[in-house]
Structure 1
């Protein structure tokens, strides 16, 4: 079966079996709130994974505040320099996975792929999980020119795991998937075009499986696909960083030896606990600290259902 069994994703660094997995997480950082690394690093560490964050931008807050934000992209060359520094001290071979997210410039995409090549040279078992953030201008989230093209071409060809939402999936495949079957077809087009073994479609809005009261995800492999749904809780302003959180949770599940289906189910339960804590606090920012125990052992479980697709 080409849809990798659990052992295909229980990937660690050679010679470091007693150490926890380590993730080199290359994405945005906000000083206040939870988006990019600020949404992903704490949950991964709370789940027992070492995280080495590299920030593609450093902003005061996420870009969907009406008041705006302050901050700058990280110089492109710094991304590679940081990886070289880790390599120089002999630690890059311990890296189990690279997780990439928001890019501050198109050029940063090339720098990320250079880091991926460097890591895989040091540890061929390492996997690359790409969250191809492309922005949503209607919500105030924008990405620089060229980033969409980079993901559609280079990221799609290079990643082992891809975590787009439906809109990003459409851009990457030149399609407009509007049914679950179309989502599966588009995801399999990505699987056939590059090295990816799994595509996690993080939000099925506009895909026919996402009513107003549900948050739904679809996990697609070469031969199997699973659908999972959780209740969509009420928010005055929907929090940002949910995609960054779910990509990180799913990657950790794979690294810790869960099957893809079990990793999806844990991701859904942990996501829901964060959203529950955030909704109950009536906060705009994800309440990761308040929900931290639920990240490890979600009190509510959700079952992934196999799709005939």
Structure 2
């Protein structure tokens, strides 16, 4: 049984942060240790929420507590998502160092959330420091552009941008919602890039009245769980695309705003519709 320390916010109602990531990883056979950086009534896109964040020293204290009982060496991966302050970002970086000092094989996969109401300086801090502190990351198209400081309009340009980010630290970059001027408007593009591989996939775009929140956390969760299960980069990516598509389809078919994770749980574990991926040979 693999163990993942998941450092993300929690919502009591709905699915965002750990509330979108923990159950899918568990359904895929991973034991999850949720470290909840915030506890809110619901996600912020509703326009109203209640709750609060824990402070950075408490984050460190909780992880030190796991180490004190000798369990930190069993942590196989760290997943991090939305971080509301520069102190939280630094705390995650420090926690990753602590885990790796105990288990050098542990790896860190980050979903860098930029421009979503975080505190002053968080975006700049993430862009400047997080690539050097991760083994993998899953940016949106917009975040990838900010990481490399230029506009990206094609898949080939995105592959080259990912490899530029890879030279800063991560070994794999998974781009969500890649915008490509050559792709049909009714498809959602996803791209995964390593130093030697680049794979692209697509799934249908559903015309939601309001786009569901938590898709990024779900994407990272499934990918990390499948990599821990031993899948290759391509197979883990294909499973991720298929699982995310199944959840989005179930959500749209049900007329819901919150992700239908429970209804689609069997497809998260064993997707019935495998969409595949194709190799991208960027110059």
**TM-score bracket, shorter-length normalisation:** over 0.9
Other structure's SS at 1:23 match: strand
Alignment equivalent of 1:197, drawn from 151, 171, 191: 171
Task: Tell me if the contact between 2:77 and 2:107 (Cα under 8 Å) persists in the aligned partners.
Answer: yes
Give 1:111's aligned residue: 91
Q: Write out the 4+ residue segments of structure 1 that deviate beyond 3 Å after TM superposition.
A: none
Task: Tell me if the contact between 1:152 and 1:173 (Cα under 8 Å) persists in the aligned partners.
Answer: no
TM-score by length of 2: 0.97
Superposition deviation, residue 102 in structure 1: 0.4
Superposition deviation, residue 280 in structure 1: 1.2
Other structure's SS at 1:202 match: strand
* Aligned length in residues: 282
User: Is residue 140 of structure 2 the alignment partner of residue 165 of structure 1?
Assistant: yes
Task: Tell me if the contact between 2:28 and 2:226 (Cα under 8 Å) persists in the aligned partners.
Answer: no
Give 1:85's aligned residue: 65
Other structure's SS at 1:178 match: coil
Alignment equivalent of 1:125, drawn from 82, 105, 130: 105
The CA RMSD over aligned residues, in Å, is 1.1
Give 1:296's aligned residue: 269
Alignment equivalent of 1:251, drawn from 210, 224, 229: 224
Q: Deviations over 1:17-71 (max 9, x none)?
A: xxx11000001111110001000000000110000011121111111113x1112
Give 1:280's aligned residue: 253
Alignment equivalent of 2:196, drawn from 205, 208, 223: 223
User: Is residue 22 of structure 2 the alignment partner of residue 35 of structure 1?
Assistant: no
Task: Tell me if the contact between 1:28 and 1:35 (Cα under 8 Å) persists in the aligned partners.
Answer: yes
**How far apart in 1 are the matches of 2:121 and 2:37?**
15
Task: Tell me if the contact between 2:10 and 2:17 (Cα under 8 Å) persists in the aligned partners.
Answer: yes
Other structure's SS at 1:128 match: strand
**How far apart in 2 are the matches of 1:307 and 1:267?**
18
Which region of structure 1 is more displaced relative to structure 2, 256-265 or 144-153? Answer: 144-153
Give 2:124's aligned residue: 149
Give 1:10's aligned residue: none
Other structure's SS at 1:227 match: strand
TM-score by length of 1: 0.89
Task: Tell me if the contact between 1:74 and 1:104 (Cα under 8 Å) persists in the aligned partners.
Answer: no
